[in-house]
Each structure stands twice: as structure tokens, then as C-alpha cells.
Amino acid sequence: MATVFERDDQVRELEGLRDNPVALLRAAQAQFGEKLAVLSSFGAESALLLAMVAEADPAMRVLFLNTGRHFPETIAYRRDLAAFLGLTNVVDIDPDPARVAQNDPTGELWAFDPDACCALRKVEPLRLASLGYEAMVTGRKRGQASTRSQMDVVERREDGQIRINPLAYWSADEIQAEMARRGLPPHPLVSEGYPSIGCEPCTAPVGGGEDARGGRWAGLNKTECGIHVS
């Protein structure tokens, strides 16, 4: 584990590559090696970051939280996009089946306690899976929601882990333009009004002009699943 001072130097080096996401990813891999992983939802805008990962190194480890509640379209997209980009190290992270059987035997926990459902199917599995990593790359952007408006390209969490967000400052228009330039296949639900895609029971389409994440936990006082909160 790096010292505080080493971490400060690492953060400064990575921050200096804010305008070149592919170089940022290569530098992060050089720094952290096997202690680096990419976290991807294979959602509405995930293809761009994953294309940059494939450009940097198609063998970079990508973690996908297979919650058991995804849209079927997301599961198919995870398979097809990984093949399209040539990603060779995508790993599914599943919740503990015994914990699911104990705490959500009917699969309806999301309806009356969505925080507990996210903890069971996302937060706890990722916490266990990420223990071996010093740094994790995410596809979060400042413009996605008010809770992310102050996010930086490199964050150091209270638990010491580094979070790297190569697209933090990219706008939705810039992302769509770059996806089109690269010829990246969109998630099939985007055309049906889903600009942000999570688990099927808790994701709804949104109307024009609404917050991109407005369909996530619609009608609830909830905007994050918890995996990006220390």
C-alpha cells in the first residue's frame, strides 16, 4: 500500500492528464498495475469509457455488478459490447446467494427498502470485490446529477482507495459526439427514453429536459446506490 505522500504524487500525476483520458488510464495502470480495476454498469454512456479502456489496454480488468435485477437488454449489451471492443478481462461480481435468499427471498426488497436492496446487491458485493484494489476507474460525470457536480477526475476516499473518473468534465453532448465518432453501439434502451440505466425495477424512462438520472429511483428521495460513497 502506498504512503500518503506517494499517493499525493500519484494523484497529482493523474490529475495532470485530465484532458487525455486514454493517457490517464495508461498512467493509472502503470502506477497501480493489478491493483487497478474499472467499474462499469454497461449502461447508457458506458461504451465511451470502455472504448478508451480497450484503447489503453483491452486486458485491463473491468468489474460488472451483476445484481440479478438488471434489464435483459443490459445483460446482452454487456456481452456484445465487450466482444465489440475486444475487452478480454470483464469480471461479473454477484451478490452472495445466501444473503439474497435470507434478505430478499421474494425479490421484492427494492419495493419497500431500496437502500437495503442496493446494499445487498451492489454495495456489499463491490466492497468485498474491491478489497484487493488500490484504485478504481468509474464512468461518472459531473453533469449527471447534483450529487456529482463537484466530483473531480481523481478522488481519494476516506478508506484510502483512489477513484479515477476520466470523463468527469465531459458533457452529455461531448460524450454522444465522441461515441458517434468512434461508431460505438448504444445501449438498446437509450432509444426508449432511458438516459441512465440501473436495475429494472428502479429505473424509468424520463422526458425531455429532465435530469438524466431522474428515472433512477423515481419518486423516492434517493439518487445514489451507495457504491460511490465512502
Catalytic residue positions, numbered: 225
| CA-angle at 154, arms to 62 and 57, nearest 5° | 35
With a CB cutoff of 8 Å and minimum separation 6, the contacts of 170 are 141, 143, 178
Cβ contact 42:187 at 8 Å: yes
- The number of residues in the chain equals 230
Helix (H) or strand (E) holding 207: none
62-65 and 36-39: which strand pairing?
parallel
The CA distance from 73 to 94, in Å, is 18
Cβ contact 151:145 at 8 Å: no
154-156 and 162-164: which strand pairing?
antiparallel
Q: Computed over its alpha carbons, how large is the radius of gyration of the chain?
A: 17
Q: How many CB atoms lie within 10 A of CB 38?
A: 28
16 DSSP β-pair partners: none
Query: Cell 443490459 maps to which residue?
Result: 74
The CA distance from 188 to 62, in Å, is 21
